[in-house]
Chains A and B, each alone.
Chain A
Amino acid sequence: MSARDEILGRVRSALSGVSPAVDLPPAPRAPDRGDLVALFVERVEDYRAVVTRCSPDDLGSVVAEVLGSASSVVPPGLGLDVAGSVVDDGLAAADLDRIDAVVTRARVGIAETGTLVLDHAPDQGRRAISLVPDLHVCIVDAAQVVADVPDAIALLDPARPTTWISGPSATSDIELDRVEGVHGPRTLHVVLVG
C-alpha cells in the first residue's frame, strides 16, 4: 500500500466513531479603538520601526529624503519615480545584496498589531527584493489600514504569496532579550500617505 493510502487509512481508523461535528464559535473582534491610523503608527513605532507621515504630493520628496545617498531597487509597478533606483527585472540575490535599500508599497496595514502585509503585486515586487536589502522603505496609504487580523485575512488572496511584516527583523534567541536586526532588513521605514 502507498504511504498515502496507509496514512489516510490510519487517520480514518483512528477517528472511527468520532463525530466530525465541532461547534465553531466565531473569533471575537477587538473593541473599537477609535483612530485606526494613529493606532497603526503607535504600534509600528513600538517595534522600533520609523514612521513618516506625508501628503500624496510630498511622497516623492519624502522617499528621496529617507533614501538619502543609499542605492535602491524598486518593483516595476511602484508608481513612483525614485531617482537613481534600479527597477527589478529578476535581479539575482547576489545583486540585491549589493543594493542598500528597497522601496515598495503594501497591500494592507493592520492597526491592532502594527503589521504591514505585502501580497507581492507589481507595486510591491518579488519577495526577494523586500528581503535582501538592509533598508525597507514601505509606502502605505492611510486608507489601506484596517483594524485587526481578521480584516486583513478577508482582504488577502491566498493564491498570492504574502509577507507579513511587523517591524525590522529581530530575534529574542539570546536570553529572550529582543534585539533588532538579523537577516531581514535591519531598518524598516514606513511612509504613511494621507
Chain B
Amino acid sequence: MSGTFVGMPAFPTAAREALADTQLRRNLAHATRTIRDKRAAVVAEVEDWEELRVAGAAVKEAALRDLATHLETLEASLVAAGATVHWARDAAEACAIVASVAHTHGVDEVVKVKSMATAEIGLNEALEAEGIAAWETDLAELIVQLGDDLPSHILVPAIHRNRAEVREIFRRRMGDVGRPAPDDLTDEPAMLAGAARAHLREKFLRAKVAVSGANFAVADTGTLVVVESEGNGRMCLTLPDVLVSVVGIEKVVATWSDLDPMLRLLPRSSTGERMNPYTSTWSGVTPGDGPQEVHVVLLDNGRTRALADDVGRQALRCIRCSACLNVCPVYERVGGHAYGSVYPGPIGAILNPLLNGVADEQTASLPYASSLCGACFEVCPVRIDIPSVLVDQRAAVVDSHRGDRVPKPEAVAMKAAAWTFSSAKRLARAERASGLAGRVLGRFSRTTLPGGRAAAGRLPGPAAGWTGARDLPAPPTESFREWWDRTDGGRDGSAR
C-alpha cells in the first residue's frame, strides 16, 4: 500500500466526493449485495445462530475482561513453544521490531499475509523507509498495492475495483515489480487470479522472511490462527525460514476449545461460506516443518485506551469479519475511503475514535457517519452493539468541546432545543410560532404534497440542507396540543 490516509477530510466532505463516483457506487452496490446474500444464506443454515453469537461474544468478552492474565499466559506458552515474544506500545515500536528482525537476516524484502494490524501500523511504508520491500500476497491487497491505492474494506481491500480496473492495474504495474501479467490477460476473475498466482509464486519461493497477523491467539497453548482463502497465507506461514506475526493484544482467547464458536462464526459472517478454504494454526516452532525462527509482536497502539472505555470496550471483541460493512447502507454508498482509515464502515466509525480519541476533526466526524439503523448490530457475530457505541462516541465528541470558548452553532441549537423541550409551556409557545409560519407558508406555498398538504420547495439558509432534495411539509396551523385543548381530545363532538 503506497497511499496514505493522512490529511483526509472529515467524513461528510469525503462522502460527497465518493457519492459522485458512479463507477464506485456501481462496484460497491454489486459487491455488497453479492456478499450480503451469501452470508444470509449460510447463516440461515445454522439453527442456533443466535446462541452461537452469544457464545462467541462471551468467549471474547471473557478474554478481554481478564486480559492481563491471558497475555501473560500467552507469552509463557509462546516462549515454551520456541517463539520470541515482543511487546509494542505503538505503531512505531511495532514497525521497528519487524524491521530489526528483517535486518538481522539481511533481507531486502518480506512477503506478507493480509493483516489488519500491519495495515493499521503502516508497516509497509515503515519497511520501505528501511530499504525493505514488503510484498502483499493477498489478491485484493496486491491490487491495492500495485494500484498505489488505499484499502477500502476489511476483508476485500479492493472491493471498490471491478474486474476491468483490476486487469488494467495488473497489465500496467506487475512488470515493474516482478513477473509481468500475460499479454492475453482478460478481465475474467479466474484469469486475473491466475496472473496473481504466477506473479507471486517466485516471491514465495525465494522469501526468507514473512510477516503475518493473526485472527486469534490462544493463551493456554500459544497457538496463532490465520484464516484465509487463497493459500497465500499458507505460503507465507510455511515456506520462509523466519516468521514475524504482529498481533493486537485483543486477539487473545483463553483456551484452544474457545476457537470453536469463533471458527464457526467467522467464515459464515465474513465470506459467506460454511468454512473458508484454509485455516492455519501453529504454536511456536515445529522442528523440521515451517519457519524455524518465530517472532510474535504483541501490539497495544490504542487498544488499552479502548479497553478502559466501559461502553466502547466491546469493540475489541471484533473479529474483523466485515459483515457490518457489507450490510451498512452508508458504507454501501460511500465506500471505505471516506472513513479515512484502514478500518472503515460501522466498526471503523467506533474503533478509530476508541483507539485514537476524538481530538482531530476527521476522527470526530466518524461516529456521526451513521443513520443508527442498527443493521450492523444485527449481523455482528460477536454482538457488538455498534449503534450504542456510536452514540456514546458522539457524546465523547460533544464532551470534548464543552470547554470551547466559542461553542459550535450545533451546541447552541441543542441547548436551545433542550431548554424548549424541558418545559411544555415553552414548547407550546414555539409551536404557536411555527403555526404562524405554517399559515404564512400555506398561503404562499407553491408546492403541494401528494395528498394535498401545502409544502415548501427549495428554501434558502439553514433549511437548504433539507429542502435541496426534499419538499418540506408546511407546519400545521394548529398543533396537536392546541387541538386537544380546543376539542377536549375530540370529545366535544367537533368533526376532527
Contacts and interface: CB of A to CB of B under 8 A. Distances in A.
A180 B189 CA distance: 10
Interface stretch (A50-58, A100-108, A152-160): A152-160
A8 interface: yes
Interface in A1-46: 2-4, 6-8, 10-15, 18-31, 43, 46
A112 B274 contact: yes
Nearest to A94: B205
B76 interface: no
Contact of B65 (A15, A47, A90, A158): A15
Contacts of A144: none
Contact of B281 (A158, A167, A172): A158
Contacts of A173: 138-140, 143, 156, 158, 193, 230
A21 to B, nearest CB: 8
B52 interface: yes
Contacts of A126: 288-290
Contacts of A15: 65-68, 307-308
A187 interface: no
Nearest to B58: A24
Contact of A27 (B138, B230, B264, B281): B264
A4 B297 CA distance: 11
Majority secondary structure of chain B interface residues (helix, strand, loop or mixed)? helix
B48 interface: yes
Interface residues on B, range: 35 or more
Nearest to A127: B238
A147 to B, nearest CB: 12
B256 A179 contact: no
A64 interface: no
A175 B197 contact: no
A115 B232 contact: no
B149 to A, nearest CB: 13
Interface in B33-88: 34-35, 38, 46-48, 51-52, 54-56, 58-59, 61-62, 65-69, 71-72, 75, 81, 86-88
B279 interface: yes
Nearest to B257: A153
Contacts of A28: 47-48, 51-52, 55
B223 A158 contact: yes
B486 interface: no
Contacts of A180: 190
Contacts of B59: 24
Interface in A72-121: 90, 93-94, 97, 110, 112-115, 120
Given A25-B54, A175-B31, A131 B235 contact: yes
Nearest to A16: B308
B283 A158 contact: yes
A13 B55 contact: no
A166 to B, nearest CB: 4
B196 interface: yes
Contacts of A172: 35, 156, 229, 271
B368 to A, nearest CB: 26
A130 B300 CA distance: 35
User: Which residue among A19, A47, A126, A169 has the maximum number of chain B CB atoms within 10 Å of its CB?
Assistant: A169
B193 A184 contact: no
Contacts of B308: 13-15
Contact of A3 (B89, B137, B307): B89
B304 interface: yes
Nearest to A47: B277
Contact of A183 (B159, B235, B267, B310): B235
B231 A182 contact: yes
Contact of A159 (B249, B283, B300, B305): B283
Contacts of A3: 86-89, 93
A178 B270 CA distance: 13
B33 to A, nearest CB: 9
User: Which residue among A2, A13, A14 has the maximum number of chain B CB atoms within 10 Å of its CB?
Assistant: A14
A37 to B, nearest CB: 17
A71 interface: no
A7 B59 CA distance: 22
Contacts of B273: 166
A2 to B, nearest CB: 7
Contact of A25 (B27, B51, B230): B51
A161 interface: yes
Interface string A165-194: 111111111111111111111000000000
Nearest to B256: A158
B278 A165 contact: yes
Contacts of A176: 30-31, 34-35, 38, 156, 159
Contacts of A110: 275
Interface in A125-163: 126-128, 131-132, 148-150, 153-154, 156, 158-163
Contact of A7 (B189, B249, B283): B249
Contact of A20 (B65, B89, B139, B257): B65
Contact of B277 (A43, A175, A184): A184
Contact of B234 (A43, A168, A181, A183): A183
B428 interface: no
B282 A153 contact: no
6 contacts: A10-B300, A15-B68, A127-B234, A161-B282, A164-B281, A178-B271
Interface of A: 2-4, 6-8, 10-15, 18-31, 43, 46-47, 90, 93-94, 97, 110, 112-115, 120, 126-128, 131-132, 148-150, 153-154, 156, 158-185
Given A166-B277, A175-B31, 12 more contacts: A7-B89, A8-B72, A15-B308, A20-B62, A27-B264, A28-B52, A113-B274, A127-B290, A153-B260, A161-B286, A171-B139, A183-B231
Q: Sorted from nearest, which 5 A-B pairs have the closest CB atoms?
A: A184-B231, A28-B48, A14-B308, A183-B231, A10-B304
